[in-house]
Amino acid sequence: MELLKEYAAVFSEKFMEYLPSLITALIILLVGLWVIKLIIKMLKKVLLKREVEVSLQKFLLNLINWVLKFVLFVIVFSQMGIETTSLIAMLGAAGLAVGLALQGSLSNFAGGVLIILFKPFKIGDFIEAQGESGTVKEITIFYTNLLTVNNQLVILPNGKLSNENIKNYTSEGKRRDVISFGISYNSDIKKAKDILVELMKEQEDILKDPEPVVFVAELADSSVNLSARFWALNEHFWPCHFYTIEEAKTRLENAGIVIPFPQRDVHLFKENI
């Protein structure tokens, strides 16, 4: 019983000695968390005002939040008398081990940061990359999601995406279409060109500047290939493309312009045995 009283007395004495440091550490923790919350709130307003990409906003805010909290906890532990050097060394070793185990994920993470910072494309753009094409649905830190024209979801890792060629079809706001029409060698080239030019010029959604043009692109084996080219805004591109192809066939045929198809003449020889 006497021993227990001695332990209680020692504990009480040590606790009273340690109490000011504990109270100070608790105050630092509470004030620090409030200050971090205030800093994050102010940064969020600044990022919104500067119209920074939403994905980049979340990434930066989360990163700053965790870094500030880590620094705060180190200060709190130090105030409590806990040796922080060993703690930092342990966290560094753990971080190295995790980094080696997650090399692919870290590559995707770095690629995501580059994509968000340099913005080779944005949500809503139609792109082609890694053998896939579609509309960008979402950009995250690790992956980019595309929605194909067949309404299929394609998930591309940002590591490869940031290091390979990306073709962005919609970034410039308008696109040029190139459609090839083959006509017979016996058909009137000038007449066919006039029909195609008139067809493109009468469409309101085809831009007048630069104006549509048609020229002879190739003298092929069985046809004279005409190249019809026009510009249209992204939202009007495909309707103009499909309408021009369908209507051109009808108008060329009605005007007596022959649209040939590949043919092969076969000659049979009878051998006398």
User: Would you give per-residue pLDDT tens digits along the chain (273 residues)?
Assistant: 665 666 566 656 665 666 677 778 788 888 888 988 998 888 888 878 877 666 667 777 877 888 888 888 878 777 776 666 665 666 666 565 555 444 556 777 778 878 877 788 888 899 998 888 899 988 877 889 999 988 999 999 888 888 888 999 988 889 999 999 999 999 999 999 999 999 999 999 999 999 999 999 999 888 999 999 999 999 999 999 999 999 999 999 999 999 887 766 676 777 665
Pick the CATH number of 115-168 from 2.30.30.60, 1.10.8.60, 3.50.50.60, 2.60.40.3080: 2.30.30.60
Instruction: Give ranges for CATH 3.30.70.100 in the chain.
Output: 174-254
What is the CATH T-level fold of the domain 2-101, as seen in this structure? Answer: Helix Hairpins (1.10.287)
Pick the CATH number of 174-254 from 3.90.1150.150, 3.90.1150.10, 3.40.50.9100, 3.30.70.100: 3.30.70.100
Q: Compute, in degrees rounded to 10, the torsion defined by CA atoms 100, 154, 233, 199.
A: 140
pLDDT at 71: 82
pLDDT at 4: 63
pLDDT at 69: 84
pLDDT at 263: 66
Helix (H, G, I), strand (E, B) or coil at 206: strand
What does the alpha-carbon distance between residue 92 and residue 68 come to, in Å, rounded to a whole number? Answer: 17
- Cβ atoms of 226 and 263 closer than 8 Å: no
SS (H, E, C) 144-185: EEEECCCCCEEEEEHHHHCCCCCEECCCCCEEEEEEEEEECC
What does the alpha-carbon distance between residue 261 and residue 125 come to, in Å, rounded to a whole number? Answer: 37
pLDDT at 97: 55
pLDDT at 272: 63
Around Cβ 167, how many Cβ atoms within 10 Å? 11
pLDDT at 139: 83
Its sign, for the CA torsion 88, 94, 95, 100, is positive
Q: Which two tokens stand for residue 49?
A: 């005002």
What does the alpha-carbon distance between residue 67 and residue 103 come to, in Å, rounded to a whole number? Answer: 21
Backbone angles phi, psi at 51, to 5 degrees: 55, 45
Instruction: Give ranges for CATH 1.10.287.1260 in the chain.
Output: 2-101
What does the alpha-carbon distance between residue 229 and residue 261 come to, in Å, rounded to a whole number? Answer: 22
pLDDT at 100: 47
Instruction: Give ranges for CATH 2.30.30.60 in the chain.
Output: 115-168
